[in-house]
Chains A and B, each alone.
Chain A
């Protein structure tokens, strides 16, 4: 009988401490959740602010002002659009096989090209 009592009391204490532990853990978890929620909200607000800032920096009027000031680019003319089908094959550039340095010969061949915004190179100063 006495052993039974001791056993029951022991079980009771065990159960109580277990329940206490669970309660404590859940409180801890709830706090964690609240903290994460707060963090999430802060992050979202920060993201929104950054997105707004990005949009402001990316606004066309600002880009145009910057482009006008710093770039030589001009608006594309309709004639400057082309399909891939319209492109001719690239002319074959042959490196003479017996030249002294084939790599430097190849580099020399791929001189900068003329485009709508890159003017043709002027004659070298004498």
Chain B
């Protein structure tokens, strides 16, 4: 009997049993109980569905948050670029960008109207095209201001959103532009050190979507921002004063090869990339090649001294112009007699330099310039570089002209590297834009000259600043040495008398050189105060002097006074050892 419940059954079980199965139970009660059970079951199912919905909602929100994080990386984060003392040359800041998802737009016309009302610089036609396209995602405007972001946010247009992107800023404007280069709107380097950075694996990181992190190590350059600015300021003044087409300059540490400052003016503001494409704003120090003029005599004399074909006491005949076929080599100020090596250098005698080169011979000359890195493209970290223009058939005439800096076009930085090797003890060190210690430099340095030759060259350069063509660059207290160079530019295959390129190579201090300063002026004019001259001694030389006076204190060079003349200070050891 069902009712006769076994004692092991609990009261609850008994109740359920009697309600569901018992015959004696009232049918209405039974129906009610079944209904109740169904209600409970369905309520459970609905509760499960509701719960699941809540979870879905939560999850999709979480997905959204995740997406914005990854979209932070749309424009690559780049490491900061610092100067040698840690001052910022380039850095990233976050800037919002405006985008639309056209498929989610409800009313494209309304959106367009509202947007153009708040941001009048948006092109209405282009905007409409973008908003009505069938694509899932379109940029409307990159890098808007926070204020604009606020205003558009308040419009509340569905399908319009913001992404925060990395924006590259150059706080120093055009001051370092020729070295740093710039980036495009996607924060990829397109010139200068920025492009070099991309070549260092940053581009690959970007591809992998890993370059969103700010924790990348900053890159420290060899530049000194203050020296760079001083150089640029003086070059800009010089360009204006001498009405030159362009001016350029470099300060090179001769013992490490570090480039402390490099300017090529006119330059551009990397915050405004449109200027950068103007061909007159190229970097003349590395991308241009020039006939350097008489500064090349430094290399010629160093070659003659190093080969043993000449000593400081040798003399060379400069009494008559040198004739080669229909060419005649003249001196700027003919002396009409034999000149000693120091005289050739300080008078800047073309004939003397040519004779010195001829004494070494064509093959020797060529091999020497090759050794000094003047015949091959100089590669630094900058992606832009230029191949020197070397004569195809190098005959005696070529040797004669190249001896005084015509007929071979090199990048000015390249010439600076060669001259640095003649004064730093005879070591050729490839220039760099990255910080480098002296020990690191020694590892890559190549001995190209004897130490004695280098000492003689220091003497000659100092002598030239004491009583030669470089007197205008002689800044009291810094023991400057230097050599001028004036080259006529080639126009339509002929040398043009009044289109000059003037340059000046200065070393300081000459007894123990630390820095080389190269100043270059493109087509300077004779102006009041230069007595009708436009040669280097009147423009590039004084400019170098001004630069040195301003930059030397910044580079921690101590001024020294009452130093003896060059023949006593620099050659003293030589005399005592002989």
Known: A56-B171, A79-B559. A51 touches B91 (CB 8 A): yes
CB-defined contacts of A83 to chain B, threshold 8 Å: 558
A78 near B559: Cβ-Cβ < 8 Å: yes
Least distance between A79 CB and chain B CB atoms (Å) = 7
Scan residues 83-123 of chain A and give those whose CB is less than 8 A from a CB of chain B: 83
A59 near B171: Cβ-Cβ < 8 Å: yes
For B214, give its contact among A44, A52, A64 (CB under 8 Å).
Answer: A44
A48 near B233: Cβ-Cβ < 8 Å: no
B549 near A78: Cβ-Cβ < 8 Å: yes
Cα distance, A44 to B559, chains bound together (Å):
43
Q: How large is the interface on A (under 10, 10 to 19, 20 to 34, 35 or more residues)?
A: 20 to 34
For B93, give its contact among A52, A64, A77 (CB under 8 Å).
Answer: A52
A59 near B175: Cβ-Cβ < 8 Å: yes
B171 near A78: Cβ-Cβ < 8 Å: no
CB-defined contacts of B169 to chain A, threshold 8 Å: 52, 56
Tell me if B173 is interfacial: C-beta within 8 Å of chain A.
Answer: yes
CB-defined contacts of A58 to chain B, threshold 8 Å: 87, 171
> Which of A44, A76, A78 has most B Cβ within 10 Å?
A78
Tell me if B334 is interfacial: C-beta within 8 Å of chain A.
Answer: no
Least distance between A29 CB and chain B CB atoms (Å) = 17
B225 near A75: Cβ-Cβ < 8 Å: no
B475 near A49: Cβ-Cβ < 8 Å: no
Cα distance, A120 to B156, chains bound together (Å):
68
Tell me if B477 is interfacial: C-beta within 8 Å of chain A.
Answer: yes
CB-defined contacts of A55 to chain B, threshold 8 Å: 87-88, 91, 171-172
A49 near B87: Cβ-Cβ < 8 Å: no
CB-defined contacts of A78 to chain B, threshold 8 Å: 475-478, 549, 552-553, 559, 561
Tell me if B384 is interfacial: C-beta within 8 Å of chain A.
Answer: no
CB-defined contacts of B88 to chain A, threshold 8 Å: 51-52, 54-55
B476 near A48: Cβ-Cβ < 8 Å: no
Cα distance, A6 to B17, chains bound together (Å):
26
CB-defined contacts of A56 to chain B, threshold 8 Å: 169, 171
Cα distance, A64 to B233, chains bound together (Å):
10
Tell me if B343 is interfacial: C-beta within 8 Å of chain A.
Answer: no
Known: A49-B94, A78-B476. A59 touches B172 (CB 8 A): yes
B226 near A60: Cβ-Cβ < 8 Å: yes
Tell me if B550 is interfacial: C-beta within 8 Å of chain A.
Answer: yes
Tell me if A45 is interfacial: C-beta within 8 Å of chain B.
Answer: yes
A45 near B93: Cβ-Cβ < 8 Å: yes
Known: A48-B214, A55-B171. A79 touches B477 (CB 8 A): yes
Cα distance, A2 to B552, chains bound together (Å):
96
Scan residues 33-50 of chain A and give those whose CB is less than 8 A from a CB of chain B: 44-45, 48-49
CB-defined contacts of B149 to chain A, threshold 8 Å: none
B550 near A61: Cβ-Cβ < 8 Å: no
Least distance between B272 CB and chain A CB atoms (Å) = 15
A75 near B550: Cβ-Cβ < 8 Å: yes
Tell me if B99 is interfacial: C-beta within 8 Å of chain A.
Answer: no
B91 near A52: Cβ-Cβ < 8 Å: yes
Tell me if A3 is interfacial: C-beta within 8 Å of chain B.
Answer: no
Cα distance, A76 to B172, chains bound together (Å):
24
Not counting A52-B169, A61-B172, a sample of 13 additional A-B residue pairs whose C-beta atoms are within 8 angstroms of each other reads: A45-B93, A45-B214, A49-B93, A51-B91, A55-B171, A55-B172, A59-B171, A59-B173, A59-B229, A78-B549, A78-B561, A79-B476, A83-B558
- Residues of A bordering B, CB below 8 Å: 44-45, 48-49, 51-56, 58-61, 64, 75-79, 81, 83
